[in-house]
């Protein structure tokens, strides 16, 4: 059964999961340039890089960053998310749905992807791709190069040949999370089919990641915390086997230390 009252949310609250990560200087600030601290030192410790190959794999939780367990009965919802960073920016809470490896950083020709299916954790609890976004994540620092990067995909309606792009930042540090922006109106990403960049990234290791954003916390001042709760965060549902991670959208390239936590309610 769904939680429909604040009393029900309070009754089903799970222990707060703390999150502490040391920061590094980030890539240039710009549209949809973000940072995933999953590879940084802290608590929890650094994650290993994806190794599924170019066709990827669905990701199932609890994952290595914000640990959780599925409810024994009923549903799970975001009850609280807080962050006190050492520099201003915006925190996203995402569910990591799919990831790959073996993208060639030096290739300037299309790299075909015969993608494994998404898990049934889009906005509607299906594998159709509603609200699903895509990004390139760096697990090893990249080299010089600022290519135009294009992803071709099938969207949530089943329409094929949709595209999304970004302009790559030069020498992206580990954790850089470059988010694709659709070139025309389309639904979320159901199946990626091709990846191409207009110039080499020279070196490093990059991965295509598909994800869904569950919540957002703006942090407008350094060293001043902010939070959302069950009411202000709209209590998005957390589907079974979700792999939750924080994503940071910086307002400056300053290295950021992260102090925060996550609370889930179940019932």
Which pLDDT does position 202 carry in this prediction? 97
Which pLDDT does position 23 carry in this prediction? 83
Mean pLDDT estimate for the chain: 95
The tens digit of pLDDT for each residue in 77-127 reads 999 999 999 999 999 999 999 999 999 999 999 999 999 999 999 999 999
CB 256 within 8 A of CB 88: no
pTM over 0.75: yes
CB 197 within 8 A of CB 180: no
Question: What residues have CB less than 8 Å from 5, skipping those under 6 apart?
Answer: none
Question: Based on the number of CB atoms within 10 Å of its own CB, is 124 exposed (0-12), middle (13-18) or buried (19 or more)?
Answer: middle
Q: In what order do the strands lie in the sheet with 181-182?
A: 111-112, 189-197, 148-155, 162-167, 181-182
Distance CA 27, CA 226 (A): 24
Cα distances from 263 to residues 55, 178, 192, 238, in angstroms, run 33, 27, 32, 11
Cα distances from 230 to residues 5, 90, 151, 176, 219, in angstroms, run 10, 19, 35, 30, 18
Task: Please state, for a pLDDT cut of 70, what percent of the chain lies above it.
Answer: 99
Section 142-158 average pLDDT:
97
Distance CA 250, CA 29 (A): 7
Which pLDDT does position 8 carry in this prediction? 92
CB 43 within 8 A of CB 19: yes
Count the residues in the chain: 267
pLDDT at 31 over 80: no
Section 145-168 average pLDDT:
97
Distance CA 113, CA 102 (A): 11
Which pLDDT does position 226 carry in this prediction? 97
Distance CA 220, CA 226 (A): 9
Which pLDDT does position 128 carry in this prediction? 98
Which pLDDT does position 29 carry in this prediction? 83
Alpha helical stretches, state H, the chain:
6-11
pLDDT at 170 over 70: yes
């Amino acid at each position: 059964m769904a939680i429909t009252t604040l009393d029900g949310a309070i009754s089903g609250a799970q222990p707060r999961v703390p999150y502490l990560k040391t920061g590094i200087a980030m890539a240039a600030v710009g549209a949809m340039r973000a940072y995933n601290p999953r590879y940084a030192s802290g608590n929890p410790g650094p994650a290993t890089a994806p190794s599924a190959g170019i066709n990827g794999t669905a990701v199932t939780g609890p994952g290595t960053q914000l640990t959780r367990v599925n409810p024994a009965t009923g549903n799970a919802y975001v009850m609280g998310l807080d962050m006190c960073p050492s520099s201003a920016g915006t925190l996203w809470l995402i569910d990591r749905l799919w990831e790959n490896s073996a993208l060639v950083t030096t290739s300037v020709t299309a790299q075909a992807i015969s993608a494994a299916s998404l898990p049934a954790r889009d906005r509607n609890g299906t594998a159709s791709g509603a609200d699903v976004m895509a990004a390139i994540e760096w697990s090893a620092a990249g080299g010089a190069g600022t290519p135009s990067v294009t992803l071709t995909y099938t969207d949530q309606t089943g329409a094929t040949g949709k595209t999304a792009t970004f302009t790559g930042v030069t020498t992206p540090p580990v954790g850089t999370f470059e988010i694709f922006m659709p070139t025309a109106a389309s639904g979320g990403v159901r199946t990626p089919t091709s990846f191409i960049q207009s110039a080499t990234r020279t070196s490093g290791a990059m991965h295509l990641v598909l994800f869904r954003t569950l919540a957002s916390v703006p942090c407008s001042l350094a060293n001043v915390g902010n939070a959302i709760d069950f009411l202000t965060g709209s209590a998005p549902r957390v589907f079974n086997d979700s792999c939750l991670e924080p994503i940071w959208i910086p307002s400056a390239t300053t290295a950021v230390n992260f102090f925060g936590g996550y609370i889930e309610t179940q019932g």
